[in-house]
Amino acid sequence: MKLKIGNFYVKDIIFGETTKFEQGILQINKEEALRVVYEDENITDADLIIAKPGDKVRIVPVKEAIEPRYRVEGGPVFPGVTGELMQAGNGATYALKNSSVLVVGKKWGGFQDGLIDMSGEGAKYTLFSELLNICLVADTNEDFEKNEQQKKNKALRWAGMRLSEYLGKTVANLEPEDIEVYELNPLTKRTEKENMLPNVAFVMQPQSQMEEMGYNDLVYGWDANHMLPTFMHPNEILDGAVISGSFMPCSSKWSTYDFQNYPMIKRLYEEHGNTINFVGVIMSNLNVALEQKERAALFVAQIAKSLGVDAAVVAEEGYGNPDADFIACIVALENAGIKTVGVTNECTGRDGASQPLVTLDQKADAIVSCGNVSELIILPPMETVIGDLESLARDGLSGGWGNDEILGSSVREDGSIIMENNAMFCGDRVSGWSTKTMVEF
């Protein structure tokens, strides 16, 4: 497979009479763009608001992030989701870099939603404070979900994807500023130099725990809960084959933007042919029952062994129950003679004294920590709130609360907030964005 991603670098976003991309400026006709949003009759109220780095803006509840893109040869940006099923990872795709579509709840949030500050102390916690964001702030008539802590948010998330495709079309007839090329030869046709290097695979564990459909990450539109571990080309992930779900404590989430730009995959590509022979991606899953977890781990190890993998990186989307899948996978790979590194965040409790992962094993002796989901974050009031600040306390966001005997409400009377890192949108950057470092004591 050979994927070319043509990049257009967005310098500013404004509203105007036409939707176009010119000299680095993305101009949006709001009325026309909202018609794309309202194509779903379940959307009852919607607006577009632009949020830029440095703005004194707080955005909550954030549900999803998507990079605007355009598939040059035709077809949907997200095969099997926003259009017909087709192979991703081949051909050319154009991307509007430095920008994202953020899907934001106008009146209600849920366990899987998060917060973004575009400036101040809070901005350092999430990548999305560094981007030019088109915030789709909307509500739906999906009343059956409003009192549920965990929500599918389908109408809102799909509207965000349609909007990102609509914006991506602005560069359809333009020449990109630069082109990234991602290509791996078939395993049986690698060069002598590549074959002399250690064979390395990336094992991804996207969120797939929910047995009821509609919450989990989707692979080509297929609910990942139905999957057994399978071998995928890394280009597929970078080119829209996988979209984010709607069940995950938010700091641990992989947004669709993360899948589209997955830093760990790109870094493995950089090392390919130099220090490693990048075999590809083993797409695993996260399960509920212990037997399911053990079965998936055995599948991963068998695939890796059959491919001649010498070393692997395992990354999990989540913590808690998924830690059992994560550790089981590492142990199965180590038992197969494959040196393995894990990438995850921790849940050590607010006092930092709890076991960081639900389950551990001596063979899991090389784990990269991306942070503590329980870390308390206190942030001052922000001049402007996009969305609904009260949702952080009212609607059961994973890092917010309505009342605590000691700490009170997550949202204070003056508009300042206290919350766990859990509620920071994609805050722990498990996909590889993290700028966090370890401190020795």
Convert the pLDDT of each residue in 354-388 to its tens digit: 888 989 999 999 999 999 999 999 999 999 999 99
Which whole number is the average pLDDT over 80-96? 97
The pLDDT of residue 32 is: 98
User: Global pTM?
Assistant: 0.97
Among the listed residues 109, 115, 116, 208, the one whose alpha carbon sits nearest the alpha carbon of residue 153: 109
Q: What percent of the chain has pLDDT over 70?
A: 100
Among the listed residues 310, 282, 269, 262, the one whose alpha carbon sits nearest the alpha carbon of residue 202: 282
In this structure, are strands 242-243 and 218-219 parallel, antiparallel, or unpaired?
Answer: antiparallel
Burial 161-181 (b: 16+ CB within 10 A, else e): bbbbbbbbbbbeeeebeeeee
Length of the chain in terms of residues written: 441
pLDDT at residue 147 greater than cutoff 90? no
Class of residue 357 by CB neighbours under 10 A (exposed 0-12, middle 13-18, buried 19+): buried
Q: Which residues contact 420 (CB under 8 A, 6 or more apart)?
A: 350, 373, 374, 375, 376, 377, 398, 399, 400
Q: What are phi and psi of 440, to 5 degrees?
A: -90, 140
First-residue to last-residue Cα distance in the chain: 47
**Residue 117, strand partner residues:** 58
pLDDT at residue 58 greater than cutoff 90? yes
Distance CA 112, CA 125 (A): 17
Q: What percent of the chain has pLDDT over 90?
A: 90
For the chain, domain boundaries: 2-423
Distance CA 440, CA 139 (A): 46
The pLDDT of residue 264 is: 97
Which whole number is the average pLDDT over 392-403? 94
Strand, coil or helix: 315: strand
Q: What tokens were used for 278? A: 């990048």
Q: Of 429 and 302, which is predicted with more confidence?
A: 302
Q: What tokens were used for 432? A: 């590889």
Which whole number is the average pLDDT over 421-430? 94
The pLDDT of residue 149 is: 84
Helix or strand (DSSP H, E) at 165: helix 154-168
Among the listed residues 222, 44, 48, the one whose alpha carbon sits nearest the alpha carbon of residue 140: 44
How far, CA to CA in Å, does 439 sit from each of 151, 366, 371, 436?
A: 37, 17, 12, 10
Q: Decide: 268 and 234 in contact? Cβ < 8 Å.
A: yes
Strand, coil or helix: 306: helix
